[in-house]
Each structure stands twice: as structure tokens, then as C-alpha cells.
Structure 1
Amino acid sequence: MIKIEVGPADFDVGRETQRVAGQGGGAIASFIGQVRGDGDLETLELEYYPAMTDKALREIAATAQSDWPLHAITIIHRVGKLSVGENIVLVVTGSDHRKAAIESCNFIMDKLKTVAPFWKKETRANGATDWVEERASDIEASKNWDE
């Protein structure tokens, strides 16, 4: 079972983890991304193009499901203006085996950071704004899965 949601609403980590656990298996892996308090950052605004983003997330999830024996995948990504400490993204994977759950969760996050079209704008305490560029380390991590 694959669940993908993109929107402004926050998510309930416990409820989403229980939903994946209810699909069977004995190994659940998760990642929660939050807005970092880098320096004087006040907000992070995330934008997306729904059709493109949904397609990319579904392809990432389908690849994970074909590469690992998974019972369930949840990908929830928030958009809109978020403050420091707020949740941005949740990935939960469930499998019979720890290694499959952990590796697939890592794969999904690495690909999500580089393949899914999200645009991020930071606003600082002084009012300055900057669009966030892709990080070389994220690109490299994503490429490592392609080998």
C-alpha cells in the first residue's frame, strides 16, 4: 500500500506509523524532516506543481516497492509557509526485514530531495529572502542509488 500526500496540513507521526505497521511485517523505518533553525531563519516557504510532484513521488515509491520487499510506504510532504521547528516531510516504510525498511526509507528521502519538484524560499529575520539551491551532497547521495 502506497500513501502519498502533499499539502499544507501537519501530519501525525504516530498515526502514520501505525497505519504502516498495520500492513504487516515487523520492521518500520521512518524519517521526519523539520525546518532547521539555521542562523536567523524565520520561515521556509515550499511551493510545488501538483501534477509533476505527485508523479515524481509515485515513481519514487514504485521504484522503492520494486527494489525492496515492502508492505507499505507513506510519503507526506508539506507545502506553504513553515516556521522553524515545524514538520516538513515524513517517510515511513514497512517490511518484514530491518534492512529493507531502512534502505528503502533512505532511498526515498535521497530521491525526494533531488527528483521531486519542490521549490524552497527562506526568509530571514531582516526580511531578506533566498531560494534554496540543490546541495551537491544531496545530488551525490541520489546518484549513489543509480549505480
Structure 2
Amino acid sequence: MRISVQETPFAPGAEGDAFAAGAAGAGAVVTFTGVVRDADQGRLQAMEIEHYPGMTEKALTAIAEEACTRWSLADALVIHRYGRLAPGERIMMVATAARHRRDAFEAAEYLMDYLKSRAPFWKKEILTGGDADWVAAKDADEDALKRW
């Protein structure tokens, strides 16, 4: 299991290949990469992501360990960036490996739902013109987490 909270960009293909190569005995590997999107079509200049080092890694490790146990995963990977990111940049990646695809898919969804609603990151959208707004929790994200 690997958890990485980093400022630097990552290459999803290389990360996925390395993860799959180390997932001995797995019959399924699922990867998901999240991208900073401009929901207001041209208004987002950047997203600034903050976190508390140590606390964030501990929280992500705990939820990844929960996923590994709950779905009998062979391995799990969580990468999440912080700092200033432009629209189109990769913000996070989750990878899971299991003997069967259902476990790998469900565990990946669980991790993504957790990252979206509970992981200790604070996100601020920097809009054109200099306005800045903290990103609030969305009901849909909370509803997605309730299914677990």
C-alpha cells in the first residue's frame, strides 16, 4: 500500500504500470485519475489545495487500510496533490488490486468517495478577476459516501 500527498505532478500511466507490476496474485487492477475541472467554463484560473502534513497521510492511510481489509485487496495506491493547480492538471489517483474485479472496482469507488468528502484537504477556487471561494461540501458527495 502506498499513500503519497505531494506537490509535484505525477504520470498516471507510469504509476498504474508500476502498481500493476507489484500486485502479485491480482486478477483485477482498477485505476482512477481525477482532473481539476473548470465547472464554470473559463472562470477557474486555479485551485489551491491545502492540508496538514502528517494528519493527512494518517487519515488516508487509515481509509486505505479499511478498504484493503473490507475488499480483500492485494494492494492499494492513493496519490493526492496539494498546492496551486491549473484546470486540466491531475489532482489525484486511486488504484486498487484484487483477485476479482468487483472488489477492485468497489474499493476504488469507496476510496474516491472518501477523498471527495472526508479527506482533510481544503480547496479554494481562484477565479478570473481575482475572486476566491472555498469549495463547500456537496450533498451529492455526502450521499455517495452514505452507501458504504
TM-score, normalised on structure 1?
0.94
Percent identical pairs in the alignment equals: 42
Could you say what the CA RMSD is over the residues aligned between the two structures, in angstroms? 0.9
The within-5 A match list for 1:103-118 is: 103-118=106-121
Q: What CA distance in whole angstroms lies between the structure 2 residues aligned with 1:96 and 1:21?
A: 12
Deviation by residue 1:70-101 (Cα, 9 ceiling, x = unmatched): 11111000000000000000001111111011
Q: What CA distance in whole angstroms lies between the structure 1 residues aligned with 2:136 and 2:59?
A: 19
Other-structure match for 1:3: 2
Q: What CA distance in whole angstroms lies between the structure 2 residues aligned with 1:15 and 1:95?
A: 19
Q: What CA distance in whole angstroms lies between the structure 1 residues aligned with 2:127 and 2:75?
A: 38
**Where does structure 1 differ by over 3 angstroms across 4 or more consecutive aligned residues?**
none
Other-structure match for 2:11: 12
The within-5 A match list for 1:58-69 is: 58-69=61-72
- Gaps of at least 5 residues in structure 2 are none
Say which SS state the counterpart of residue 104 (structure 2) adopts.
Answer: helix
8 Å CA contact retained: 1:36, 1:84: yes
Q: What CA distance in whole angstroms lies between the structure 2 residues aligned with 1:42 and 1:26?
A: 41
Other-structure match for 1:85: 88
Quick one: which amino acid aligns to residue 2 of structure 2? K
Q: What CA distance in whole angstroms lies between the structure 1 residues aligned with 2:39 and 2:20?
A: 34
Shift of 1:120: 0.2
Deviation by residue 1:115-136 (Cα, 9 ceiling, x = unmatched): 2100000011111000000111
Q: What CA distance in whole angstroms lies between the structure 2 residues aligned with 1:15 and 1:26?
A: 19
Q: What CA distance in whole angstroms lies between the structure 1 residues aligned with 2:119 and 2:39?
A: 23
- Gaps of at least 5 residues in structure 1 are none
Aligned length: 144
Shift of 1:18: 1.6
Shift of 1:20: 2.0
Deviation by residue 1:34-85 (Cα, 9 ceiling, x = unmatched): 1102221110000001121111101110100010121111100000000000
